[in-house]
Each structure stands twice: as structure tokens, then as C-alpha cells.
Amino acid sequence: MIRESTSAEFPAIGQLMVEVYSQLEGFPDRQDMPEYYEMLSNVGALTEKSGTKIFVALSSEDVLLGAVVYFANMKDYASGGDDIDIEMASGIRLLAVSDKARGKGVGKSLTNYCIQEAQENGHSQVVLHSTKVMQVAWAMYEAMGFQRSPDLDFELHGFSIYGFRLSIKNG
């Protein structure tokens, strides 16, 4: 089941995100990017911005399988690069899937849920960022129709971040 998270779930979501991102081989660790990991831990704070939501994937036993942050307003996306001022677009950040749920379509389901939300908001595209160390996610995004968008690329602490866009029909 996928739904919008509750504030009571924010600590568990933050913990999941820290676990997932800290286990990525080649991804900067907490010592290299302490402010990033602090943001992951407190991911619920992102929802204080209007139109920003966290969607969760839960098992039938209400176990957290994954989460993603959805931005209806690209001015609040703030991925670490330049401000992104894209009209009629939604953003996706911080997709995380627990070890136990990997390979079961959770990431794709969360991404599709965000695409549906973007359509409901009348947006014509979805924007996200990924890195070379996130090859599973990168391949999933490309298989779902996201196209590389080099104009959205940037460097963060010497780490290359790559932009992607998906054109969608709204309504």
C-alpha cells in the first residue's frame, strides 16, 4: 500500500533513509556530508513547505518498505544544485527502499505514485536527480521513461549529481 506519511512516521522514514544512503558503495558518508545526513534524519521537516509530501510504501502488516519525497513546487526542491525554476513540474527526491523490499517493485511503485500526483497537479514533467552509485535506481528511472537532462547536473562536495526529466500528460 502506498499513501502519504503521517508525522508520527517521520523518525522511521529518516532512519530508513540514513540506512539506505549510508550503505551505497561509493556514496559520501556521514563524515563527508554531515548536513546531508542530518537532513535525511529529519526528512519530515521538508513537508513544512506547501505541496511537499512524503509517500510511504507499507507491507500488509504496516511495515515500512520504502519512502520518497514529492515536491509539487520546484522552488522547494533544493537538491543541492542551483535553484530549479521549472514551470508545471514536480520533483522527486530521496527515494529509499529497505533491504528486505528491494527487487520487489517498491521503488517503481513509489515513483509511479509521484508521477500520478504530478498529473493530478496538472504538471507536464517530473524532475529528479541520481548519481552513478545509484545504478539500480538510475536503470529503473530510464526504464520508466525518464531522460537524462544535463542542464540539471551539478557537483556537491566533489560528487557528481545527474538530472533526469519525464514528460507526462497532465489531467
Condensed to tens digits (0 to 9), the pLDDT of residues 80-128 reads 555 566 778 899 999 999 999 988 999 999 999 999 999 999 999 999 9
Q: What are the domain boundaries of the chain?
A: 2-167
Confidence of residue 27 (pLDDT cuts 50, 70, 90): confident
Return the CATH class of domain 2-167: alpha beta
Q: Are 125 and 165 in contact (CB under 8 A)?
A: yes
The full length of the chain comes to: 171
User: Which strand (E) or helix (H) includes residue 154?
Assistant: strand 154-156
**The pTM is what?**
0.92
